[in-house]
Amino acid sequence: MPELPEVETVRRGLAPALVGATIERVELRRHDLRFPFPERFAARLQDRRVLDLRRRAKYLLADLDDGHSLIMHLGMSGSFRIDEETPGAFHHKRDKNAAHDHVVLHLDHGRRVVYNDPRRFGYMLLIATQAIDEDKLFRGLGVEPLNGALDAALLARAFRGRAAPAKALLLDQRLIAGLGNIYVCEALHRAHISPLRAAGSLVTASGRPTAALARLPEAIKDVLTDALKAGGSSLRDHRQIDGSLGYFQHSFRVYDREGAACPTPGCKGTITRVVQSGRSTFYCPVCQK
């Protein structure tokens, strides 16, 4: 599943083509993706101008000039491309099978935005822009990890008294929106916190963050910022908007590096893989406590 940096990379790539453009025509090449398209979906998008393209958690939101927003989720294998151009170096071959091109937006400046999704696990919806925050998809989402709302005090309030592993709470979208398995593993390693550690143990008896927990917000922000600079992790299915692939996965410290030496200076540990709640967790049992 694409994580926050992947979705933000797509947003940044799509914005120059979409924002300010008018959707002249919409091709729907099937009646559904993960869910059926909204009623009169193509007709409701036709002749609408895109005012802005935003991201909330792992969703893309295109605000339209009729007071509605086009909500887009990439699912497991969804990707966008502009026209038929696919510049860039490829790490995994891009799927260009037209059978998987399910939605085509024809824009007034002559370009096309094509949504391709072999597994059809993505989806598109239309929601009134002013109602987004109260919609069932969005109303329970937590803070965005790259803004000032994510700090040690917020984590201390969420972790206090909790026996669940720290990693499990960080993956809870009600606490932090858009943070996923890859970047949680990476952030915990940077903060030297074991993913197995009880969340409550990172909070003092008076409710203040321990020194370890105080390191975590910046570790989260740093790993996401590094991923954005590299264009997202681009593991297998996910691609940047121009079809090229980012290579941030090659600089992962722990994710998918089972058996490798821990990259922490002076640490003699080896990266270990365990399974938590059905997901692979990678960490160093020596320097992550």
| Binding site, annotated residues for DNA | 100, 119, 162
3 a catalytic residue? yes
Regarding beta strands 48-56 and 22-28, do their DSSP bridges make them parallel or antiparallel, or are they unpaired?
antiparallel
Binding site listing: 100, 119, 162
Round to whole Å and give the CA distance between 108 and 22: 5
Tell me the three state secondary structure of residue 229: helix
Catalytic residue among 49, 56, 279, 285: 279
Catalytic residue among 44, 58, 81, 190: 58
Round to whole Å and give the CA distance between 284 and 267: 9
Round to whole Å and give the CA distance between 288 and 188: 8
Sheet holding 22-28, edge to edge: 79-82, 112-116, 101-107, 22-28, 48-56, 59-64, 68-73, 123-128
Phi-psi region of 57 (alpha: psi -120 to 50; beta: other; left: phi over 0): left
In which element (H, E) is residue 157 found?
A: helix 152-159
218 a catalytic residue? no
Encode 9-18: b = buried (16+ Cβ within 10 Å), e = exposed.
bbbebbbebb
* List of residues 6+ apart from 187 with CB closer than 8 A: 170, 216, 219, 220, 222, 223
Catalytic residue among 2, 5, 195, 217: 2
**Which residues carry out catalysis?**
2-3, 58, 279
